[in-house]
Every structure is written in C-alpha cells, then in structure tokens.
C-alpha cells in the first residue's frame, strides 16, 4: 500500500498485521476522520472520554494500553481493520467480546 497518495483514496479495511506503526497511525487517523470523530463501538466523540465505562480487568492488558486515547480496532481472526475506537472501548471489546 502506498501512503504517498491521499488517505481519502485509501481503501478500507486494510490488514492491520501488515502495517508498520506509522501506517497504523495514519489509518487510525483516516478512520477517525471518516467516522466523523465518533467511536466505532460506543458512537461517542473520540475527542472526549467514553460515556460508559464498564469494569475492566486491567491485568489482561499490557502496560501503557491507555497511553494512546484512540485505538485502531481490528479483527483478531482476519487481521482486518474495523474502525477507530476509544482505548477504553477497545478494552471493553476485548474483555467482554474477545474482539
């Protein structure tokens, strides 16, 4: 995938596992833009904290999991990207739904 083109021309989804960290950041930014800065999961603004915060067992997640407030959600089965989510919502998706 060439990132020299405009991100608006990028066809989503893409395979998360084949992306470098800088590419993941660009794809996350593009999902954020295309979603109108709304979380794919909770539909709340990605510029604010999630509206709901169910209990999370933080021992399931690596240190620094919340260092970046917006995560690029992807399928752990196919590797394909799904959308931009709050870091907290990403934890909910994994802990409660194994996504």
CA-CA distances (angstroms) from residue 76 to 21, 41, 57, 80, 93? Answer: 17, 16, 19, 8, 11
Summarised one tens digit per residue, pLDDT across range 13-31 is 999 999 999 999 999 999 9
Q: Where are the beta strands (DSSP E) in the chain?
A: 70-74, 81-86
pLDDT value, residue 10:
84
pLDDT value, residue 33:
97
Summarised one tens digit per residue, pLDDT across range 44-89 is 999 999 999 999 999 999 999 999 999 999 999 999 999 999 999 9
CA atoms 24, 17, 79, 88: torsion sign: negative
User: What CATH class has 12-97?
Assistant: alpha beta
End-to-end CA distance of the chain: 25
Contact between 50 and 39 (Cβ < 8 Å): yes
């Amino acid at each position: 995938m060439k990132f020299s083109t405009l991100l608006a021309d990028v066809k989503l989804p893409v395979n998360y596992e084949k992306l470098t960290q800088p590419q993941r950041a660009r794809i996350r930014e593009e999902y954020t833009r295309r979603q109108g800065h709304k979380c794919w999961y909770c539909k709340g603004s990605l510029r604010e904290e999630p509206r709901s915060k169910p209990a999370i067992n933080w021992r399931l997640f690596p240190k620094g999991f919340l260092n970046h407030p917006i995560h690029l959600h992807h399928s752990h089965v196919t590797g394909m990207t799904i959308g931009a989510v709050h870091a907290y919502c990403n934890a909910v998706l994994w802990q409660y739904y194994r996504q």
